[in-house]
Structure 1
Amino acid sequence: MVAGGLSLDAPVSEIMSEELIVRKSDASFSDLYLCMIKNRLHHLVLTKDGTSQSPVTGIISDHDVLLSMGNSPAILIHALLNTMDLDEMKSIRLRAEQMLRYYLENEVAMDFVASVMTEINDVIISQARIIALTKYRREYPEMEGIKFCFLSLGSEGREEQLLRTDQDNAIIYEDVPQELQDKAAEFFLKIGVEMVEVLIHCGISPCPGNIMASNSKWVQPISTWKDYFSEWILRPTEEALLNSTIFFDYRAIGGTNFLADQLTDHIYEEVRKKHFFLNFLAKNAYLKPAPLGFFRGFMVERSGEHRDQFDIKARAMMPLADLARLLVLSHGVVGINNTFKRFEKLAELEPVNQELFIQAGKAYEILMRMRALEGLHHENSGRFIDPESLGKLHKQLLKNTFTPLLELQELVKVRFQLDYFSK
């Protein structure tokens, strides 16, 4: 009435909807939810016998649907913050995936989806930290006041872990006097083991390469972490470059963030002094497996468990993530880990390549959505996709994401003189 400027005396018939879609009040939840999705309804009227001629018994809204499932982000986060029970935490994370499915199927913006899921994952990690400290603090009173922080690496470090794929993490703590070094190493490793166990209990798989805070190699004081990165940058072996693709995307969660900031400052100073390291990173990014074959067909696995399936992570997502990381590093940009946000920043920094970077960011969002939907459908990581299961439109959509990838690889080839570098 306000929008139409109608009189308060106007009859209801002038503004009401007619031929309402209604359902019976005792209908199953799935039927009601499906009805609302199919008919794009924000509100659904419930009647006694399911016809528009019987008495109204209630109205549900799409917001009510999410709340009834407990799948509002605020509700899920509130529930996590108020429990230390591992089974309950696992259940809440499962409900978060129901919310994720709803967001993806209704094409909610990926930056919002990724932010929500990241926040939920971060709260779980923060609770895991409290659980671990509560368990071991009294046993190690000399560690009281020693600063540390938990580092999420890889996709979680980039704020891109939508599904409960395997974890990559580490712990960094401040340097301690020599007489406390053994105690500190013992204490923080126990903290790391406990936190990793909590994450595993919540359904987040352990890292196959054991890059986790339960591995003593990745639970170290800041001086050792600085030595690690200096060595990787000075001597970029194949293993060092592999570590770089994982560890350069770290993000501090809980604890003392200034330790991570100190490490970041050290890394960028080392890269600035040894700029040639970027050429090795560029070569590594350029030589990633091609997504398409000579005849423009998908490059699928030729043997093993995933034979005839397309590896969307190795052949599409990781090459784009590697290229974004490389180019952001070359500009000395600090504090942006997320891949499509990196491309947004690059578009701002390089107006001449603005359109390419914008398209690359959009391509990465499409790939994230496709992988997450695939994973939810098959209840796995979504990494391997059967091209034959895709419709013509989705096949073309996937292939379209390869165009900015290939163009970026050519840009990097020229910019970092890879023809000369490989000789």
Structure 2
Amino acid sequence: MTNSLASRISEFLSFYTPFSELSAEDLYAISLSVNVLTIDKNETIFKIGDKLHDRFYVVASGLMHISLISDAEENLIDKPAVGEVFGLRPFFAKNNYATNAKAIQDSIIFAIPVFAFKPFIANNTKILDFLLQNFASSSSDSTENLGLGFTNEGGKTYETQSEIQFFQSLEYNKSPLLVHSEETVQEVAQKMSDSLVGSALIHESNLPIGIVTDVDLRSKIATGRFTITALVKKIMSSPVITVPENTSLAEAQLLMLQNNVTHLCVTSDGTDKTGIVGVISQQDLIFAQASNPGVLIKEIKRAPNAIALHKIRIKFEDFIQNSIQKKIPLSHINTIAGEVNNALIKRAIDLTILELGSAPVRFSWFSIGSQGRKEQLLFTDQNSFLVYEDVAAENNLMVKEYFLRLAKKVIAILEVVGYNATTLPYLASNPDWCKSYTEWVNQFNLWMNFPGEKSNVIATLFFDYELAFGAIEIEEQLNEVVFKNLENAKKFYAYLGAETLKKPAPFTFFKQFNVEEEGAHKNLFDIKNRAILPLVDAARLLTMSHKIKGINNTFLRFKQLAMIEPKYADIYLNAAEAFMFFSKLRTKEGLKNNSTGQYILLEELSKSDREKLRSAFAPMKELEEVIKNKFQLTYFM
């Protein structure tokens, strides 16, 4: 007979991550063992130092506060609301609670036994990933960060981040403490203490035969089960769970949960028949998750200054490099990088408003160029413009002065973070690009209706705008202006088409790569202007001509074009792949040389990469023909 309470609990949980990953039958089975707790306002579920419970918790109604003590003050680090989980420490740690959990409203809490849920984690990486991110982000064990409760805003990047865990590499102790089986527990404990490590591997001729952890010392020695003079082989865990050197974060998570262990021994081939290379601890997994993009975004939101933001962005650069090495699709990395870059811009604006005081009217900050297209992986240029609401003429100067001061401070913060603001004039701190809504309407009308007239040079990157901060209504109104102008825009399209075809050629007359002939970049190939930007411009022009809304990213623009125009589908799909190849090559070059990656020494490329680079230009000639034919380029030619 069906249990009606379990059915209601199961139905409730099915709407929330990570429970939505489970089947209805599995959810019902779990719900049969759930306890329903009624918690009064200000009542505490657990406190710092309490022994771990055998369950974790889900908020069914009400609101909780999770806090910890730092510098003798209680600091709020998370606010689990309806449908959110908390109290995950029993899954990932053995020591006592490190945070307080208190109801700030009368609440109903579902208490889910760890033993009932654990089997489903070991078989579902998405669930495991979600829980570990939450634990890493709301734990005092996180590196340089005390609790940044992971919230997947809008569900934008959960799938991609989950997939990345299959590739994400781990930093672990490559010089583990090695001891012999005939040593006493006291001797081993002293060595662990001196080495500041939580484990010791017992070996014979560098082959692992067992492991002792600080948990063993507490559970087997401190309880009196064994004396400190006992041989370490009496308390070691054996056999040791071994893994190869290239074990990913997800694989390590699964193995620890499946085998109920807190350490893995790394060996040359992943078996106990080859030499010890290192040891992976549960703490290593937590530290790895602390560099996860979802956690970093939460860390960004709490950063107190520009220097802290710079450190977070450096951590994310390591993530980008590891992701590329692990062959994660660049489209996935771009998506996540776009969210991280937006979070950095938002925090820079938040910090500035805290300093200057509230804005006099609503405004919107737009990223343009590679930031606006969510294609910026390196520390390259920042480009932006600012739109503020219309005000009475007599107040415009005062309002504009406020926003110019705000823009200058924001851009200065982002320069400290690492984004260059000196090479291009397209910045919100420039009075030309910090204007009222009506002034911006006039600007876009002028660009689109009178292109090329009266020295009206169009900065095409302004049509790759992305709202980074502020009133979404301003963005929507600006979209209406742009798309209304596209209704009768033959001259505008022709102008953009002509500009697209003016980009410098990648090859000489003799089919050799065109390299810079003089200056600081002599003999280097400009992959940005000769390869990437022609594709960026072509994708923008073609999607605008189809009045496609909501897609700025070049790769996605070509993908969308392939669906809309089947007769050119092959050209567009090849262009999309070429763009990703060029972008990846530039990113790898930039990471290697700590540069923008714009200029490449072709001689340093492998023969294979040089051939791939040459081949990648093939669809560009076909793309040029499409543009010439579609827009009948007689204007400006």
TM-score by length of 2: 0.57
| 1:256 counterpart letter in structure 2 | A
Identity %: 31
| 1:369 counterpart letter in structure 2 | K
Pairing partner for 1:164 from 375, 379, 382: 379
Judged with a 3 Å threshold, the aligned counterparts in structure 2 of structure 1 residues 37 and 386 are, in CA distance, closer, same or farther, namely farther
Alignment pair present for 1:292 and 2:292: no
Q: 1:150 — aligned with what?
A: 365
Alignment pair present for 1:363 and 2:578: yes
Three-state SS of the structure 1 residue aligned to 2:245 is: helix
Q: Give CA-to-partner distance per residue, 1:208-258, whole Å, 9 cap, x none.
A: 222111111111111111111111123322964441x21010111121022
Q: 1:9 — aligned with what?
A: none
Aligned-pair CA distance for 1:381: 0.1
**Structure 1 CA distance for aligned equivalents of residues 282 and 530 of structure 2:** 38
**Structure 2 CA distance for aligned equivalents of residues 229 and 309 of structure 1:** 37
Judged with a 3 Å threshold, the aligned counterparts in structure 2 of structure 1 residues 75 and 40 are, in CA distance, closer, same or farther, namely closer
Q: 2:204 — aligned with what?
A: none
Q: Where do residues 10-409 of structure 1 align in structure 2 (5 Å cutoff)? A: 24-25=175-176, 36-37=245-246, 42-43=251-252, 45-46=265-266, 52=272, 59-60=279-280, 64=284, 67-68=287-288, 70-137=290-357, 143=360, 146-237=361-452, 240-243=456-459, 245-409=460-624
Judged with a 3 Å threshold, the aligned counterparts in structure 2 of structure 1 residues 105 and 26 are, in CA distance, closer, same or farther, namely farther
Q: How many residues align?
A: 388
**What RMSD, in angstroms, separates the aligned Cα atoms of the two structures?**
3.0
Three-state SS of the structure 2 residue aligned to 1:254 is: strand
**Structure 1 CA distance for aligned equivalents of residues 282 and 266 of structure 2:** 14
**Structure 2 CA distance for aligned equivalents of residues 301 and 69 of structure 1:** 43
Verify the 8 A CA contact 1:148 1:172 in the aligned structure 2.
Answer: yes
Judged with a 3 Å threshold, the aligned counterparts in structure 2 of structure 1 residues 230 and 394 are, in CA distance, closer, same or farther, namely same
Three-state SS of the structure 2 residue aligned to 1:337 is: coil
Aligned-pair CA distance for 1:114: 0.4
Range 324-333 or range 399-408, more displaced:
399-408
| 1:323 counterpart letter in structure 2 | A
Three-state SS of the structure 2 residue aligned to 1:154 is: coil
Mark the runs of 5 or more structure 1 residues left unpaired by the alignment.
3-21, 28-34
Q: Which has the higher helix share?
A: 1
**Structure 2 CA distance for aligned equivalents of residues 263 and 270 of structure 1:** 11
Per chain length, whose mean CA-contact separation is higher, i.e. which structure has more relative contact order (CA < 8 Å, sep 6+)?
1
Mark the runs of 5 or more structure 2 residues left unpaired by the alignment.
1-119, 121-172, 179-243, 253-263
Q: 1:31 — aligned with what?
A: none
**Structure 2 CA distance for aligned equivalents of residues 51 and 362 of structure 1:** 40
Aligned-pair CA distance for 1:93: 0.4
| 2:176 counterpart letter in structure 1 | S
**Structure 1 CA distance for aligned equivalents of residues 271 and 247 of structure 2:** 18
Q: Give CA-to-partner distance per residue, 1:93-151, whole Å, 9 cap, x none.
A: 0111011100111110111100111111111111111111111126x7xx1xx211100
Three-state SS of the structure 1 residue aligned to 2:370 is: helix
Judged with a 3 Å threshold, the aligned counterparts in structure 2 of structure 1 residues 185 and 23 are, in CA distance, closer, same or farther, namely closer
**Structure 1 CA distance for aligned equivalents of residues 551 and 282 of structure 2:** 34
Larger Rg: 2
TM-score by length of 1: 0.85
Judged with a 3 Å threshold, the aligned counterparts in structure 2 of structure 1 residues 342 and 57 are, in CA distance, closer, same or farther, namely closer
Three-state SS of the structure 2 residue aligned to 1:205 is: coil
Judged with a 3 Å threshold, the aligned counterparts in structure 2 of structure 1 residues 247 and 41 are, in CA distance, closer, same or farther, namely closer
| 2:318 counterpart letter in structure 1 | Q
Q: Give CA-to-partner distance per residue, 1:154-176, whole Å, 9 cap, x none.
A: 00000001011011011111111
Q: Which has the higher strand share?
A: 2
Judged with a 3 Å threshold, the aligned counterparts in structure 2 of structure 1 residues 126 and 271 are, in CA distance, closer, same or farther, namely same
